Amino acid sequence: MKAGLERWLLRRWYGGVAPGPGLRLLSLAFGTLARGRAWLYRRGLLKVHRLRVPVIVVGNLVAGGSGKTPLTIALARGLAAQGWQPGIVSRGYGRRSQDPVRVRPELPAELCGDEPLLIARQTGLPVQVDSDRVAAARQLVAEGCNLIIADDGLQHRRLGRDIEIEVVDGERRHGNGRLMPAGPLRESASRAVDFRVVNGGEPREGEWPMQLQLGEATPLDGGKPQPLSRFAGQRVHAVAGIGHPARFFQALRAQGIDVVEHAFPDHHVYLAADFAFAAGEPLLMTEKDAVKCTDFPLERAFAVPVRAHLPAGLFAALGERLADWSSAHARP
């Protein structure tokens, strides 16, 4: 049911099917509520909580994924290399627990969420999951982090921010340009941000390009990683439960792999029955999916990592902004 509704909406958001009057009416109501909430924050009637360290928010204006997690990982690594001590906060979408969680690499994904677990494993940096992002950020600052990166929080105005970064899918952009549910937008596409990073496609003026590249396929049973060239010319089953599964499938085909697609909704909770197709043929899945599938008895199953490559100029620009923040907040 959920997957069918998602496909139905995506055809209207990105597929050229015009949304009906019911969706347009709901979109009007959604926009009124969103603008009203933003006005309350601007007027100070809803409180914005500022921290004593800079806060970078990574997010998007559309519903669904566009590459936020790979960007968050790349930013955290790059800024740590500049000498910062980043901590990452997330609400842990899709997790079963509602308690605050310090993410550790050995935790099961259902306790902390698939994306926070992936971030913790790939960065080795502190990751705090909490439905209260302000509390999560304060916890990390108390433990010595001097920079907070919020994964997916452009619309979470309660946490004050110093730098906002929007991630845009370079192929689908903002879809039909309408607000939800008639379109994919959570806010108007004209909303100002500090940096706009474009995942694939052709960046426009003032935008920064991001390219996602696939790494070696790592067996889920802990064996030696294998180059994707080993699968060229073979028929493989490919699984992706991410915001835009077609991007993963296309990237595999670019490696000369014969892909049988198995797309699932973003943050899908897998069952063993989901892999009934995989007997005898290799199974490739994203790392985000793999962290939820390690307990299944899958044969010839591999996790394929994705790494974000960003221009050095973006890190230089971020470094300048953070240096300006430090100067402005230096104690006399």
Per residue in 8-60, pLDDT (tens digit) is 888 899 988 899 999 999 999 999 999 999 999 999 999 999 999 999 999 99
Residue 6's alpha-carbon distances to 71, 117, 126, 131, 289, in angstroms, are 25, 25, 33, 25, 19
Residue 10's alpha-carbon distances to 5, 79, 181, 232, in angstroms, are 9, 35, 10, 31
Q: What amino acid is encoded at 61 in this protein?
A: L
Residue 164's alpha-carbon distances to 65, 127, 152, 216, in angstroms, are 17, 19, 10, 32
Counted residue by residue, the chain has a size of: 332
Q: Which fold has domain 41-211+309-328?
A: Rossmann fold (3.40.50)
**Which residues have a Cβ under 8 Å from the Cβ of 114 and sit 6 or more positions away?**
94, 267, 288, 289, 291, 292
Cα–Cα dist 42/230, whole Å: 55
Q: How far apart are the first and last CA of the chain?
A: 60
The pLDDT of residue 93: 82
Phi, psi (5° rounding) for residue 162?
A: -110, -25
The pLDDT of residue 92: 83
By three-state DSSP, how is residue 263 classified? strand
The pLDDT of residue 3: 65
- Dig out the tokens for 313 from the structure: 């100029």
Q: Where do the H-state alpha helices sit in the chain? A: 2-13, 21-42, 68-81, 109-112, 114-123, 133-142, 245-253, 287-290, 312-328
Cα–Cα dist 168/64, whole Å: 11
Percent helix, strand and coil across the chain, each to the nearest 5: 35, 20, 45
Low-confidence ranges of the chain (pLDDT < 50): none
DSSP E strand boundaries for 170-305: 195-199, 208-214, 218-219, 235-240, 258-263, 283-286, 301-304
**Which residues have a Cβ under 8 Å from the Cβ of 233 and sit 6 or more positions away?**
256, 257, 258
Q: What amino acid is encoded at 184 in this protein?
A: P
Angle at 29 between CA 27 and CA 34, to 5 degrees: 90
pTM: 0.92
Q: Are strands 101-102 and 195-199 parallel, antiparallel or unpaired?
A: unpaired
- Dig out the tokens for 184 from the structure: 């994919």
Cα–Cα dist 179/23, whole Å: 10
Can you give the residue ranges of every domain in the chain? Answer: 41-211+309-328, 216-304
The pLDDT of residue 278: 65
Cα–Cα dist 114/303, whole Å: 14
- Dig out the tokens for 217 from the structure: 């396929």
- Dig out the tokens for 231 from the structure: 């699968």
**Which residues have a Cβ under 8 Å from the Cβ of 66 and sit 6 or more positions away?**
60, 167, 168, 169, 172, 199, 243, 244
